[in-house]
Structure 1
Amino acid sequence: MQVASAQLPGVDESADRIFVTDNAVIVLDGASAFEPVELDPGTYAQGIGESIAAQLTDDPAADLPAIVAGGIAAVTERHDLRAEHSPSSTVSILRVGPHEVDLYVLGDSPVHYGNDTEGWGLTDDRLAMLPLPEREAYRARLRAGHGFDDEHRRLLRDLQVRERRYRNMESGYWIAETKPDAACHGILKRIPREQIEWAVLSTDGASEPLAHLGAEDWISISSYDGRQLHSLLARLQSWEDQHDPEAQQYPRAKRHDDKTLVSISLHP
């Protein structure tokens, strides 16, 4: 397994996290709490990622949902977190075994994978599929040219309140926060080892602008080294700055989201 990665901004300013073990890659995208708390989302994601990586190092074949649940439990206990007063995080994992490759996603950090001729994606779109009028309202205002004004920020606060009603429940969506059993609702896919030759793990700050620009050439991206990945992220950031600073073309919550890409080669 050969791994290359890039982040924009760097880890000191980002809530995205990457961890690599001998047989696994873990990507997390931390998000702020609904109510202000002292623990920042990057520290939260760091804690869960460290726990997952340590467990996979100790037991490389361990059950992935159980490992993620353990990470949530450990960070929740360490920082005495409470639901709705805690940061949250997506969790995406690729693990290579002797005969199979396991993919796991909890939240909207997708995994793209394939072989030399075909590619597929493993995504968790449960949050995106929820009927949230505040989301449509802020996007419509951005398309109309209102930009990131006070009303935009108010709509985002209202959207967070609405999302809270659906968090970590059957009729809503699942995310790493304070409930360890949320990990059991992640999406898990097992692929025969001979059917997968590459993969790309990303956070939505990278995958969504790539989709908007029609630049989702995941097969090519999977072969990029760290320098090429960083150059791609810089081009996305530059496009947001120079061509869509007020998010009229690509409506989004903020001008720049944290961006992470990890390319993985599984060729023998």
Structure 2
Amino acid sequence: MTDQTTIVLDGASAFVPVDVPTEAYVDTLGQYLVRTLAEWPQRDTADVVAESISATAHTLRLVPGASPSSTVSIVRRRENTVDLFALGDSAIYYGRDDVTSRLCDNRIAELGIAEHREYRERLAQGHGYDDQHRELLKRLQLSQRRQRNQPGGYWIAEADPEAARNALVRTLDARSISWALLATDGAYGPITHLGLDDWPNIAGLDSKGLATLLQRCASWETEDDSHGKENPRAKVADDKALAAVILTDL
């Protein structure tokens, strides 16, 4: 986070080998993003993300197709506008008072890969997180890699800076937005499934309230739906992050 910007990154779990640990990729990318956004507060957000991806790839000696990947979500207040930037399937909920809009890049879920449908169907049938499930996820990731950062595929922060030029972006009049909430899919998935998705209310929670909400979701996943039957998902409990922004605070 910078004085004017909130950033959420969600590194993708690697079910097939990658060149460096996902945590190293996310940490390095995050450092470059924070530094560049702080130094150039008026610079185009996509340019900042593209430069940060390039710098990360150079620092870690990454090549496209063998690198870890991460979503990038940014809410950035400028003088009279608020920029929203979404690369990957983390979500930005935002609005004024009780009116809610959503920005989320769902292109990876729209690829129509057979293994994506199959693993969800098996979980719904009660098979759980068995060896076949893990094999399906490996095959799914290999198929996704072939369509990663390609026209007609999906775009994600990895080693190709061109991904930043294909993010979903919105620029809003600052008077039209009073709050925003950045959420990883591991957070908004169970929140929505459990009917807890009052996003304006969640955006008003303090850090303790957000942590309590995330713990409630994690407990439900591990204790009540540990086989993924009610809410089919790749892992029993994915990483969860929420970042609430009251725009007058920026």
Does the alignment reach a TM-score above 0.5?
A: yes
Structure 1: which 5+ residue stretches go unaligned?
1-19
Instruction: Report how far residue 120 of structure 1 moved.
Output: 0.5
The equivalences for 1:76-95 within 5 A come to 76-95=57-76
- Structure 1 length as normaliser, TM-score? 0.90
Give the counterpart letter for 2:242 in structure 1: L
The equivalent residue for 1:96 is 77
* Deviation by residue 1:28-49 (Cα, 9 ceiling, x = unmatched): 0012456424521122111111
* Deviation by residue 1:100-135 (Cα, 9 ceiling, x = unmatched): 000000001110000113010011011111111101
The equivalences for 1:120-135 within 5 A come to 120-135=101-116
The equivalent residue for 1:247 is 228
Change (3 A) 1:237 1:34: closer
Aligned pair 1:109/2:90, yes or no?
Answer: yes
The equivalent residue for 2:166 is 185
Equivalent in 38, 42, 54 of residue 57 of structure 1: 38
Structure 2: which 5+ residue stretches go unaligned?
none
- Partner secondary structure for residue 81 of structure 1: coil
Native 8 Å contact 1:35 1:84 kept in 2? no
- Partner secondary structure for residue 77 of structure 1: helix
Change (3 A) 1:32 1:82: farther
The equivalent residue for 2:194 is 213
Distance (Å, rounded) in 2 between the aligned partners of 1:45 and 1:167: 18
Change (3 A) 1:35 1:138: closer
Aligned pair 1:154/2:153, yes or no?
Answer: no
Native 8 Å contact 2:92 2:181 kept in 1? yes
Distance (Å, rounded) in 2 between the aligned partners of 1:63 and 1:93: 12
Equivalent in 159, 162, 177 of residue 196 of structure 1: 177
Aligned pair 1:48/2:29, yes or no?
Answer: yes
Instruction: Point out the structure with the larger helix share.
Output: 2
Distance (Å, rounded) in 2 between the aligned partners of 1:259 and 1:54: 24
* Deviation by residue 1:219-252 (Cα, 9 ceiling, x = unmatched): 0000000000000000001111221110000001
